Amino acid sequence: MIDVFWHPAVLDHDTGRGIFEGGPSDLLDVPELHPENAERVRNMVSVLQRGPLADRLRWHDGRLAGEEELAAVHDQAYVAMVREACEQGGRVFAPSTLVTGASWQPLLAAAGTAMAAGDAVISGGSRIAYAPVRPPGHHAAPATADGYCFFNHVALVAERARAADCERVAIIDWDVHHGNGTQACFYDRADVLTVSLHMRHGSWGPSHPQTGSAAEVGVGPGAGYNVNAELGLGCGIRAYEAAFTQVIRPILDQHRPDLIVGACGQDASGFDPNGRQNLLMAGFRRVGRLVAEAADDLCDGKLVLVQEGGYARTYAAYCLHATLEGVLGTGPLLADPIGYLPDDAGRGDGDIAALRTYLSSFWRLP
């Protein structure tokens, strides 16, 4: 059973239209929605409510976060700045990252609902919880908005777990992009292991100075506790599975987390406009199973999943359903409507070898 925490206010954050992330064009009759739009999460909620997993889900109301709760991870001045930007009618933080005058409550609903899911598992009321929230959060650093993200939801959940006497936490991020904000939150700490499986894309500017490479392992007490599984474009599920089984799972076994938090993105699909790592529903099902098996073996199944990317507005919802099928171990329940891309078994081998090289001085790897 998965406890799903939902707040409809997350749909009210309006990111507009244009040429995908770009501005509108007079040359086009029909502009694109911004990739991070309400429709993508609306579809995720509907496929869970109407699909074959429906009787394995319990729905709960989400909540709004308090500003003091956000300050557990984010600088108070930054929180106030985001609120003021919304109150003043909006602001563009980066070309793809913006708020409007109606965004403040959705941002609080996303953060608060993620924390509500986390609290349910931390308190023992739930074993597995999922929060379908938007905007996403894993690019948000303590004082920086980036990549559609303003508040780092998985970092907030991890920090609450630590405050509730969870000695060690692990965050596993399989969004197609590097979880740079989460890395920044915990880069010098050993109590929160941060793992990011992502497509190689490097730094994209001042808001994302991290490269996401395997060489970024953490500093000081956190050395070795930041794991970047940077994989080449189009690598497919076999590379993801190899990275998990050869590197990530052995590290998890040694870290022994009391809780696993999953940054649950579906933008690594072969049909996502922002990713194209060639994962299909079967691939996401396998990722979900690997993460759940780790939680079962290491922390009594305690797993919190928070929605991140997934910008193919229809297929991402199917991939989410497959992810949760994997988490629950049901096997395939929903057929893949469009999956036909090949999975190249040879891609990613060199990336995983490099990752093992960087981490072998910190962890025992088979």
Clarify whether 153 is annotated catalytic.
Answer: no
Q: What is the predicted pLDDT for the residue at 23?
A: 84
Q: What is the predicted pLDDT for the residue at 147?
A: 95
Contact indicator for 111, 70 with CB cutoff of 8 Å: yes
Q: What is the predicted pLDDT for the residue at 344?
A: 63
Q: What is the predicted pLDDT for the residue at 200?
A: 94
Torsion, Cα of 355, 356, 361, 366 (10° steps): 160
HSE, side-chain direction, 13 A CA sphere, residue 37 = 16
Contact indicator for 115, 64 with CB cutoff of 8 Å: no
The catalytic position among 34, 60, 138, 139 is: 139
- The residue type found at 190 is A
Q: What is the predicted pLDDT for the residue at 79?
A: 98
22-28: which pairs have CB atoms within 8 A and are 24 or more residues apart? 22/95
Task: Report d(CA 353, CA 276) in Å as an integer.
Answer: 22
- Helical residues (DSSP H) of the chain, grouped into ranges: 38-50, 67-70, 76-87, 104-122, 153-163, 180-186, 237-243, 249-255, 281-298, 315-328, 349-359
Structure token pair of residue 268: 């690594």
Q: Does domain 2-359 have CATH number 3.40.800.20?
A: yes
Going 170 to 176 to 181 to 184, the CA torsion angle's sign is positive
Q: What is the predicted pLDDT for the residue at 351?
A: 86
Residues of the chain with confidence (pLDDT) below 50 = none
Q: Kindly give, in sequence order, each residue whose CB lies less than 8 Å from that of residue 361, ignoring residues fewer than 6 positions away.
A: 224
